[in-house]
Amino acid sequence: MAFCFAALSIFAQDSFPGFSGEYLLEETYVGESDVRRGTHTVHNFDESDSVLRFILTPRVGLGVLRLGADWERFSFGFPALTPLPNTLQSADLVVGLDTQFSNSILVRFEAQPGVYGTNHFKIDTFNVPFVIGGTYIYNADVQFVVGVSVDAERKYPVLPGGGLRWRLHRQWVLDAVLPKPRLEYDPTKDIELYIGANIKETSFRVDDRFGVTHGIARLNNAVLTYSEVRTGVGCDWKLSSNATLTAEAGYQPYRNFDFYRADVRFRQHGSAPYGMISLHGAF
């Protein structure tokens, strides 16, 4: 689950009166790397991470609703019989609210009820992770963000987030807010260059025969917390007022597959290069 705590969207103006929203289409490819558990090393597998998101943001008396859907799929090139799933995917609804407590304080609540599993979704993969966050607007150049991400199935159910967004200069912004901190530079009004990171951590449940078919019976129907960190440089190109194309490249220094309840963990052994492209925007 992506846990973003910035709530500044409540100030966005509708491009189409009475109808507004946001969307994201994203694809990331991570090159070959290894993970290790004790003396067992899984060699030379790659990764594909696909994300689709569409959220409507109608205005109501309390603020701005967030209503939509989200899908993410991780595909890994594991060798046969490796005790790790080749596919992790989630399909969920987005139900949330951005509201304003004062001219300086904004709050967001967002839940993502859905299924978080592998190749086949089942009712026992249902989960409802959610985030609660707030933004304090110190002035037009400085905002402070705090929040928590809650997922009862995750190894660490409650994770803190937030940070500082500071416009250092007309062309420079320090957006140091987890889970996507970055330093931005705007050479033109349509181009933004940045260096930053992306922290992901989501829980999935494997099927009830996974352990038997992969040689570790206690992994049947087990919960897997998957974590990764990407660090890289990128470019946002504003194609129009409603569409931005982003390209990014860098390295993935950290990855962890943790069946924490079954005490089976695979950790990254060496970094891997990655490339990402996305189309996103608001309307």
User: pTM for the complete prediction?
Assistant: 0.92
- Residue 111 sits in which domain range? 8-282
Can you give the pLDDT at residue 121? 85
1 found inside a domain? no
Could you tell me which of 174, 150, 151, 177 has the C-alpha nearest to residue 162? 177
Positions of the chain with pLDDT lower than 70, given as ranges = 1-18
170 found inside a domain? yes
Can you give the pLDDT at residue 8? 46
Number of domains in the chain: 1
2 found inside a domain? no
Can you give the pLDDT at residue 10? 43
CATH for 155: 2.40.128
Given the structure tokens 């997922």, which residue do they identify?
Answer: 151
203 found inside a domain? yes
26 found inside a domain? yes
Can you give the pLDDT at residue 120? 83
95 found inside a domain? yes
* Longest CA–CA separation in the chain, Å: 60
